[in-house]
Amino acid sequence: MVYSKNIVLGVSGGIAAYKACSLASKLTQQGANVKVIMTDNAMKFVTPLTFQALTRNPVYTDTFDEKDPERIAHIDVADWADIIIIAPATANIIGKLANGIADDMLSTVLLATQADVYIAPAMNVHMYAHSAVIKNMQTLVEWGYHFIEPGSGYLACGYVGKGRLEEPEQIIQTIEVHQQKKAQLFLKGKQMLISAGPTQEKIDPVRYFTNRSSGKMGFAIAEAAANAGASVTLVAGPSQMQVQHHQIERVDVTTAEEMYEAMLEHATKSDIIIKAAAVADYRPSITYDHKMKKQPGPLYLEMERTRDILQTLGDQKEDQFLVGFAAETETPIENGYKKLQKKNLDAIIVNDISLEGAGFSGDTNAVTYLNKQGREEKLALNTKQVIAEQIVKLIHEDLEGQ
């Protein structure tokens, strides 16, 4: 995960600065583009020329050394960075950052950057345990900074205890693990609204019209979205499925009208809307409070249209990314594109339910993802969990491409 990343290595003034040379070298060898910032005190331990030779990039030591008149150096470096590592991080630089002090090149870059910042402390064992240092570190953790804890052992000052700069290999490994987890949360900060399952349209107290939808596909998409970092509202028709993820808020409904109202209520607060539910197109015009008695001869029930949830969402959508489902048995792709355009969708999942293993209630599915730009991605037969993960990634790719 450090390969091809722009990494700023901030070196502050501690004896462990010599380890930063090895860290810079290993990052460069692994394909990272490394720029080093040194504090005045860091230069008393290691020369800038050492880091320049190891990274093949200029080393920054002075906030006011503006080599390019068209750019402000500390802002340019702060914007350039994907990742910033402070190693070693002394009590002094930790205190500056926790208190918003910007009086040199490193501290100004740290206040200006939006990159992930990893802090690898190195100091005397008693300094590391001091209340001020602990408080400053706690503050930075609350602000979203990431700490790479020092190791224990013999320190340069002669003490034995916690305070040794973590080894360069472990620093890189810790960063890569965190970056990998972060990459999986590609929908973090997104609000997603998903409908799932069937609806039930009452005839009398014991009878209703419904369909064969189990809700498995919609629930799987909700889980995949939550695993990707999204906050999910799941509007679920009657289903035996259970919600597992803590970032999924379940809203239970029964009828098409209830689902219509719930979806519209949450739509304006959502970034992504997926209508995976199999909603009844018709409901009985007249319902009965008491059980209908069996009568001789045929039974005729007058049916009326339910309100079209997806069409309404398409008509009213502003900047939401709207995805529909189309369960088809004939010319599925052609019908999918027609529905995509008619209902003002950004994408549609076409499900040919005539294919073996791709119908309702099963644990597998095979679908085709279509978007309004003409993208057509066939997702081969697989478990509904895997298909859901693929759908969520395709939606993310479309959002990134907007």
Listed range (82-91, 139-148, 354-363) with the worst mean pLDDT? 354-363
103: helix, strand or coil: coil
What is the strand order of the sheet 33-38 is part of? Answer: 59-60, 33-38, 6-11, 83-89, 116-121, 146-147
Beta bridge partner(s), residue 370 = 348, 376
What tokens appear for 201 in the block? Answer: 């349209």
Active site residues: 157
Helix (H, G, I), strand (E, B) or coil at 46: coil
pLDDT above 90 covers a percentage of the chain that reads 80
401 has a pLDDT exceeding 80: no
Contacts of 72 (CB under 8 A, 6+ apart): 66
Which amino acid makes up residue 162? K
Q: 3-class SS at 303? A: strand
Which CA distances in Å does 160 have to 71, 105, 125, 157, 307? 46, 33, 8, 9, 73
Q: Is 67 annotated as a binding residue?
A: no
| Count of Cβ atoms closer than 10 Å to residue 278 Cβ | 23
Q: What is the pLDDT of residues 135-168, one digit of tens each?
A: 999 999 999 999 998 876 666 666 666 768 999 9
Residues 119-135: pLDDT tens digits? 999 998 889 999 999 99
Q: What is the pLDDT at residue 354?
A: 83
- In order, the DSSP letters of 227-254 are HTT-EEEEEE-S-S-----TTEEEEE--
Task: Indicate if the pLDDT at residue 71 is higher than 90.
Answer: no
* Annotated binding residue 372: no
Mean pLDDT over the full length of the chain: 93
Query: What is this structure's pTM?
Result: 0.66
If you search the block for the tokens 């259970």, which residue do you land on? 242
pLDDT band at 81 (very low <50, low <70, confident <90, very high): very high
Q: Is the pLDDT of residue 346 over 80?
A: yes
Contact 200, 190 (CB under 8 A): no
pLDDT band at 304 (very low <50, low <70, confident <90, very high): very high
The pLDDT score that the predictor gives to residue 362 is 83
Quick check: bond before 88 cis, omega within 30? yes
**Domains of the chain with bracketed CATH:** 6-184 (3.40.50.1950), 191-400 (3.40.50.10300)
- The DSSP element (H or E) to which 53 belongs, if any, is helix 48-55
What's the rounded Cα separation, in Å, for the pair 370 and 322?
12
pLDDT digit string (tens) for 243-299? 888 899 999 999 999 999 999 999 999 999 999 999 999 999 999 999 999 889 998
pLDDT score recorded for residue 336 = 95
For residue 262, give the H/E element and its range.
helix 256-267
Query: Is 275 annotated among the ligand-binding residues?
Result: no
